[in-house]
């Protein structure tokens, strides 16, 4: 709360009765205290309650407190189910966000930890609404190259469900899916689901021109990412691209989409024998044609 604005620090200092707390809060509210305020609050992600515990002499009237606390931000989640497979349902794939602060305090994301705390038996009202995302639903005739490490696999679970149902009644275009996670043991999300579509002529099977490739980043000393798998299967990537494939990229790492783009530039250049700048232009044209989509968050 102190960090939400220097003004909050001033208001708190007004209500502090202990002199040392008043001084500290006034320092946080001053231009000289800005860096320390950032360290104390933003870097450590202190909650309102923790700040009030650190400054127990602050006896703020409730009406003031309510005005100082910023309203909760809504959180966006990709829809990870197909309406064809689950009419009247919307599935989400949510990872429990957790990290350790510079002062070694364990922190958890507010919304993801709250969702994780709910029990399926509980009947609870969760305010939610729909917003158009940046990954348009692909027609069944469009070949796809999907890149979705971690929770980035969420929208693609829906795509695969949809295509699997469409493939029962008609022909569908091939799909290559590059998935990545930290460890095979702990966070291989929807393992059985992907593997089931990889077998018996499923939509990810080689028989259908598809493929499913996983990069486990922390199962060996050196990092293996989705880009490495794309390099390994670059011929397949290129063949699908020249057959009109669209590229869809989703995930929580802000750096991942640009790394994947650089890898695609290398693949296009190497496989086509064209210089790098032509490959860059080729991929830009793909984007202009509405066949290169990214949804990334951090
Ligand atoms: C278009 C879109 C689609 C999304 N789809 C999904 C999805 O399908 N599944 C999903 O799980 N999430 C998805 N997200 C992310 C989701 O909206 C939330 O941001 C996420 O769940 C974390 O929310 P939270 O309230 O748990 O964490 P918060 O309480 O908001 O905490 C997250 C914040 O904590 C800090 N933080 C987190 N990790 C660290 C770290 N290692 N070091 C320092 N600070 C850190 C950062 O400031 C970060 O912004 C999507 C986001 C967008 C914009
Ligand atoms: N408690 C847990 O076990 C656990 C597990 C997963 C996630 N989480 C939490 O959930 C949040 C979101 O998780 P998530 O599953 O969406 O993502 P994530 O686990 O943070 O990342 C998914 C995969 O992408 C890799 N990656 C990182 N940078 C990349 C890059 N530039 N290019 C390509 N791949 C890259 C990661 O590898 P590296 O991370 O090894 O570099 C990991 O293998 C995380 O930030 C974390 O807080 C917790």
The 10s digit of each residue's pLDDT in 41-61 is 888 888 888 999 999 999 999
How confident is the model over 277-296, as pLDDT tens digits?
Answer: 999 999 999 999 999 999 99
What ligand 2 atom has the least distance to the C-alpha of 181? 43
Mean pLDDT of 84-110: 93
Given a contact cutoff of 8 angstroms between Cβ atoms, the answer to whether 53 and 46 are in contact is no
- Residue range 144-296 forms a domain whose CATH class is alpha beta
Considering every ligand atom, which ligand is closest to the CA of 132? 1
- Assess if CATH 1.20.990.10 describes domain 2-68: yes
Please state the domain extents for the chain: 2-68, 144-296
Using a 6 Å cutoff on CB, does residue 113 contact ligand 2?
no
What ligand 2 atom has the least distance to the C-alpha of 186? 3
Name the closest-CA residue to atom 5, ligand 2.
187
How many A from CA of 109 to the centre of ligand 1?
Answer: 7
Using a 6 Å cutoff on CB, does residue 114 contact ligand 1?
no
Using a 6 Å cutoff on CB, does residue 8 contact ligand 1?
no
Mean pLDDT of 67-96: 94
Name the closest-CA residue to atom 21, ligand 2.
150
Q: Above pLDDT 90, what percent of the chain?
A: 85
- How far apart CA 145 and CA 292 sit, in angstroms, is 10
Using a 6 Å cutoff on CB, does residue 75 contact ligand 1?
yes
Using a 6 Å cutoff on CB, does residue 257 contact ligand 1?
no
Using a 6 Å cutoff on CB, does residue 253 contact ligand 2?
yes
- How far apart CA 193 and CA 235 sit, in angstroms, is 26
Confidence class for position 2, pLDDT limits 50, 70, 90? very low
- Please provide the average confidence, as pLDDT, over all residues in the chain: 94
């Amino acid at each position: 709360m102190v960090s939400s604005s220097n003004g909050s620090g001033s208001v708190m200092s007004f209500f502090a009765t202990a002199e040392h707390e008043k001084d500290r809060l006034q320092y946080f509210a001053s231009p000289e205290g800005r860096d320390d305020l950032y360290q104390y609050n933003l870097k450590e992600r202190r909650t309102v309650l923790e700040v009030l515990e650190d400054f127990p002499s602050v006896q703020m009237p409730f009406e003031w407190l309510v005005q100082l606390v910023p309203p909760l931000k809504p959180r966006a989640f990709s829809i990870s189910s197909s309406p064809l497979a689950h009419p009247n349902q919307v599935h989400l794939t949510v990872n429990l966000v957790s990290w350790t602060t510079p002062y070694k305090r364990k922190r958890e994301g507010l919304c993801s930890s709250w969702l994780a705390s709910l029990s399926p038996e509980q009947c609870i009202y969760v305010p939610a609404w729909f917003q158009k995302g940046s990954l348009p639903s692909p027609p069944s005739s469009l070949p796809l190259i999907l890149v979705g490490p971690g929770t980035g696999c969420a929208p693609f679970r829906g795509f695969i469900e949809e295509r699997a149902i469409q493939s029962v009644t008609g022909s569908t275009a091939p799909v290559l899916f590059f998935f990545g996670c930290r460890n095979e043991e702990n966070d291989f999300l929807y393992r059985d689901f992907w593997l089931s579509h990889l077998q018996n002529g499923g939509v990810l099977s080689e028989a259908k021109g598809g493929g499913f490739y996983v990069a486990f980043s922390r199962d060996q000393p050196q990092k293996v990412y989705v880009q490495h798998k794309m390099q390994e299967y670059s011929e397949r990537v290129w063949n699908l691209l020249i057959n009109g494939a669209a590229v869809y990229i989703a995930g929580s790492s802000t750096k991942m989409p640009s790394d994947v783009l650089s890898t695609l530039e290398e693949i296009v250049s190497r496989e086509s024998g064209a210089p790098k700048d032509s490959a860059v232009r080729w991929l830009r044209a793909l984007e202009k044609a509405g066949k290169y989509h990214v949804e990334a968050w951090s």
